[in-house]
Amino acid sequence: MPDEQMAAAGSAPVPPGSGPAVPQVPQVAQATPVPQATPVPQAPPVAPVPPRTLDPIDRSIVRLLQADGRASIRSVAEQVHVSRANAYARINRLIDDGVIRGFTARVNHERAGQGASAYITLKIVQNSWRTVREQLRELPGAAHIALVSGDFDVLLLVHTPDNRTLRELVLTRLQSIPEVLSTRTLLVFEETDLLDPGPAGGPALTEE
């Protein structure tokens, strides 16, 4: 069909009802608005409690209990020149503040059958300190663990019955830890405890 006939045919009026049905657009139901939840207020972060400054009496009490953890409150009070109630309150406050973490026996390791002692330095994989620390805690004879700066990463103090046991600990236990890159063992020939042991006393924190 020529273009003119097609245009004429397209302009002719269409009788009602004779044309093609126009599709009805379905009505879209409006979604019911969802009520917004009220935001829960977040508690502000708790700032760490700064260390409490110790006065001279507190420091004297700490030194006395380091030297003799079995010292009685009466003995401590007399030596720092305060009342027993004051000494008791101060010791409890030092415990609550985490200054005093506990009362332990100070051991002569050689007389206790641990004749070999050594400081061991370790180089470890970066960012593996927490993993290594937990494994070092399980070592028999481990007495002190420290993360340090310098040419190595960790300083470990151990006490063992003899050098053979120490060698096995280093070569078998330590070097089997995947995060440990290298170790160096420094044997302790003699050591001196700088804290005066003081006289033996009664049970720790007793009134008498």
Over pLDDT 90: what percentage of the chain?
A: 54
Task: Output the average pLDDT for the chain.
Answer: 81
Residue 147 has pLDDT above 80, yes or no: yes
Q: Residue 170 corresponds to which amino acid?
A: V
Which 3-state string (H, E, C) describes the chain? Answer: CCHHHHHHHHHCCCCCCCCCCCCCCCCCCCCCCCCCCCCCCCCCCCCCCCCCCCCHHHHHHHHHHHHCCCCCHHHHHHHHCCCHHHHHHHHHHHHHCCCCCCCCCCCCCCCCCCCEEEEEEEEECCCCHHHHHHHHHCCCCEEEEEECCCCCCEEEEEEECCHHHHHHHHHHHHHHCCCEEEEEEEECCCCCCCCCCCCCCCCCCCCC
Mean pLDDT of 32-53: 67
Closest CA to 159 of 194, 198, 120, 122: 120
User: 92-140, pLDDT tens digit by residue?
Assistant: 999 999 999 888 888 888 888 889 999 999 999 999 999 999 999 999 9
Give the pTM.
0.62
Higher-scoring residue by pLDDT: 50, 198:
50
